[in-house]
Structure 1
């Protein structure tokens, strides 16, 4: 495979105008990128471009965009070198797309399939972020150390336990690699996943990872490939003003108690959330391996919501389930959205104002030994499906296949999501309206420096 430098009108690797930028390099200083160029997707300014390179991966502490495409992959690479090459190629392509450009083949060979579908031509960057994670199967799968990485699996990258009430479907569970694409345009987010999946999957025997020349006639779809899509889920948020907490499909605010909440007046495009509490809750420190320091662990859960059942539930019961007022988001004990919970308050009969089995009490840091996670959830709507509810009134029939793509980042899932959700899965009143149908865990490495690639330190 030829390796050529690329150019970009935004010069995200230091080029200007049409000048060639230096290629991404391995630690040995050898070129480690495919033959790509960056073609302008539009004539728009750089507004809306979130930097791809940095200390942390974008898409974790970045203020939420309005659209999500979450993709999980199975690795089918024949060797570690093939896997590394894919991560190098993905790094370059992701940086190009985050800058708002199209990924184009350097040789411009019209006899080959286009590298880029071109579906976002005419659009800007859309605040696109691409966040990459490594699942347990990268390190060991079916008892096999496929790529010599088993000894480097972090202790915190545990297999998630089966929680009470789980009804997990293989179509939305697991994965060796993941990519979280978020953008303010659904077309931009899906385009990014589509291009990266195309690069990884079998498609062209003419060159590539282990492929062989097929002669004068190109034998497309004959390349063994490196990774294939396992499952994919789209999500959305309403376009709220900056700093406003999103609402889920139950109509309640979701993420009020996130760590590191900034002053809404300080939020701007591309500016990340960040303070000491966020660092303690989200970023891996010296306790983790070098390649994970500055990274975070991602837990994703696909949660179907019984919306028809919920829509027939009295408002006061809805609020009792959450422990918060629906309109304001304030706790039932009084005050505004960010008023601290008063878990000791009782009513005239001596009962807790915020119920013992309310969602907010069971999820509060104060009732979980200080455990905190960064919620970055999105709603989803996949139409209708024949569903049998697991709680009274045990309705069965066509219902909305809709709910929440719960995405949570944390420093250690053992003391984060697992600790919090173990109790919630058993006692939360909200369980009668929700069913967890998908689940996965990934280690998201630290940010990527220019000249490096995703998870580079893992392979040294």
Structure 2
């Protein structure tokens, strides 16, 4: 076993780090502030599925002290657990999303060996240890850094099951997403056999994990696409706050919260399912969408017009019906002119659970900026990721509603898409996906 590196505030990554379990709770007696300091999430204006299903930034304690930057590296997430890390983990400052396709000739045996290698590497990396393993020495990219809340999450795409001879165990929830009229999808940046989500509060730690997992793939799988994202860094604000997206909107207010009685029912697959999908118990389905924001057009609007499109105040994320950021929207409230304060086509109204039969999902995105396009406009927007127990009861009904009349639609473009089955967490001694691949 490799020797653990020292991290700020502790004598070693495992001993000195604040540990987050798969529910975002601290495994030690660490202040809540350290655990959720960077929580800002998708937001009050949430893209693709909108303003009403916020993400990671649930219930940041407004009265806690700010996170000192020197503590960022010391927080450690837990690899083993009922659920995989990176789902309810508070938003991280840096992320990489990568899809792989199995190489020609690689099947179930090779996939199992890859998942075993990946799981072992992820466990080491999340503990702040070097990535040395079966594919060569550690690159040294993350030397001197602590775990920095690193999480690694693995999922399987629809095509994975045919390539591994497991079509009979492919769950119905992994059926293809329907086409939406607003889609402008690039097939080269969509779907994939395998999906990996990497998040950390330090960019070098995140890149280190990315390189380690790409190397561990060896000849078994090749990268199909990669997307790189970011969020606000923990400690960058005077107190914990919901993050903003690149449109400047507070984004993540109304995310489902783990404290809600039906949270697990909405987000995670229950045990006792059908024989073909029993391996998904404790898992979740991730919808991944690259949503470009047409920022030049958006920024030409007045703040008042932007607020009308979203249905929330830009300054603090409060609904236009009044109150503060966390005040429930009053969709029936009208102004002096008799018109609803939150317009019929406002993003927040259309995407709200109240208008979608209670449909909700846990949104946990990253922003992205990939430079300037040929037409001179920013290639920037949202790497939208949402989690749910069944996408046909979460993402799909809400997106269908948005597709039919969201006021935000002229200012965004859906350019890539994927749906992945993310199995439950690995128990000690297991690797992710073992219950599927070795059943």
Once the two structures are superposed, the pairs formed by residues 293-442 of structure 1 within 5 Å of their partners are 293-386=281-374, 397-442=375-420
- Equivalenced residues, count: 368
Query: Where do 4+ consecutive residues of structure 1 move more than 4 Å?
Result: 240-243
The alpha-carbon distance between structure 1 residues 122 and 46, as it changes in their structure 2 partners (threshold 3 A), is: closer
Return the alpha-carbon distance in structure 1 between the equivalents of residues 99 and 281 of structure 2. Answer: 23
| 1:455 counterpart = 2:399 | no
Partner of 2:85: 58
Q: Is the 8 A contact 2:73 2:145 kept in 1?
A: no
Q: TM-score, normalised by structure 2?
A: 0.80
TM-superposition CA deviations, 1:360-380 (whole Å, max 9, x none): 011100100000100101110
Once the two structures are superposed, the pairs formed by residues 131-280 of structure 1 within 5 Å of their partners are 131-140=153-162, 146-201=163-218, 225-239=219-233, 243-260=240-257, 273-280=258-265
Return the alpha-carbon distance in structure 2 between the equivalents of residues 418 and 174 of structure 1. Answer: 16
Return the alpha-carbon distance in structure 2 between the equivalents of residues 54 and 127 of structure 1. Answer: 16
Return the alpha-carbon distance in structure 1 between the equivalents of residues 240 and 266 of structure 2. Answer: 20
* Cα shift at 1:279: 1.1
Q: Is the 8 A contact 1:115 1:195 kept in 2?
A: no
Partner of 1:215: none
Partner of 2:266: 281
Partner of 1:32: none
Q: TM-score, normalised by structure 1?
A: 0.77
Give the secondary structure class of the aligned counterpart of 2:379: strand
* Ranges in structure 2 where 5+ consecutive residues have no aligned partner: 6-11, 13-70
Give the secondary structure class of the aligned counterpart of 2:384: strand
2:127 to 99, 103, 108: 99
* Cα shift at 1:257: 0.8
Query: Using CA pairs below 8 Å that are at least 6 residues apart, which structure has the higher relative contact order?
Result: 2
TM-superposition CA deviations, 1:48-97 (whole Å, max 9, x none): 11111111101000111111111111112523111101111111011000
Return the alpha-carbon distance in structure 2 between the equivalents of residues 46 and 347 of structure 1. Answer: 48
Give the secondary structure class of the aligned counterpart of 1:256: coil
* Cα shift at 1:274: 4.9
Q: Is the 8 A contact 1:299 1:407 kept in 2?
A: yes
Deviates more, 1:330-339 or 1:285-294: 285-294
Q: Which has the higher helix share?
A: 2
| Larger Rg, first or second structure (1 or 2) | 1
* Ranges in structure 1 where 5+ consecutive residues have no aligned partner: 1-5, 11-16, 18-43, 107-112, 141-145, 202-224, 261-272, 387-396
